[in-house]
């Protein structure tokens, strides 16, 4: 069964600090996809990144970076020089690519509430 754990329920930082959001996943499939979504106070889900299990390259997009390590089943997300607008709930999610019904399902972690204070 697939599972995503975001151990940090809430994180509070001061603007310009760097912050890392942790994500640990469990899956039996060798092919899977990992996602990060942002949910700002307005409530919509904003797609940030998708990574497949065969691509362990780290990715950087502006102030955002992602560290994917299959050896530790982790897909951590770092915001550099955080800003107040980064305040949101961040979800990590997993989609298995194996056969059967599970490949139509996104399994979400419970989310991490990030508060960036001015």
Partner 1 sequence: NAGVTQTPKFQVLKTGQSMTLQCAQDMNHEYMSWYRQDPGMGLRLIHYSVGAGITDQGEVPNGYNVSRSTTEDFPLRLLSAAPSQTSVYFCASSYAPRGWGGYTFGSGTRLTVV
Residue 95: Cβ-neighbour burial (10 angstroms; 0-12, 13-18, 19+): buried
Q: Which position among 68, 75, 77, 91 is part of the footprint of partner 1 (CB under 8 A)?
A: 91
Residues paired with residue 78 on neighbouring β-strands, in sequence order: 20, 65
Which tokens in the block code for residue 62?
């502006």
Does the footprint of partner 1 cover residue 108 (CB under 8 A)?
Answer: yes
Q: How far is the CB of 51 from partner 1 (least distance, A)?
A: 10
Q: Does 101 bind partner 1 (CB under 8 A)?
A: yes
Q: Report the distance separating Cα 50 and Cα 85, nearest Å.
A: 22
Binding of partner 1 by 31 (CB under 8 A): yes
Q: Nearest distance from residue 116's CB to partner 1, in Å? A: 21
Residue 47, interface with partner 1 (CB under 8 A)? Answer: yes
Least separation in angstroms between CB 103 and partner 1: 5
Question: How far apart, in Å, are the Cα atoms of 66 and each of 19, 34, 72, 104?
Answer: 12, 11, 14, 24
Assess contact for 108 and 55: CB atoms under 8 A: no
Q: Which of 100/118 has CB closer to partner 1?
A: 100
Applying CB under 8 A, which residues contact partner 1? 4, 9, 31-33, 35, 37, 43-45, 47, 50, 52, 91, 93, 95-97, 101, 103-106, 108-111
């Amino acid at each position: 069964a697939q599972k995503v754990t975001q151990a940090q329920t809430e994180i509070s930082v001061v603007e310009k600090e760097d912050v890392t959001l942790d994500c640990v996943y469990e899956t039996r499939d060798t092919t899977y996809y990992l996602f990060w979504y942002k949910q700002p106070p307005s409530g919509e889900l904003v797609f940030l990144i998708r990574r497949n299990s065969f691509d362990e390259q780290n990715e950087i997009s502006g102030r955002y970076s992602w560290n994917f390590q299959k050896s530790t089943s982790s897909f951590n997300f770092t915001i550099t020089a955080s800003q107040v607008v980064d305040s949101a709930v961040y979800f990590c999610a997993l989609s298995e690519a194996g056969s059967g019904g599970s490949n139509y399902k996104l399994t979400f972690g419970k989310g991490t509430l990030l508060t960036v204070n001015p």
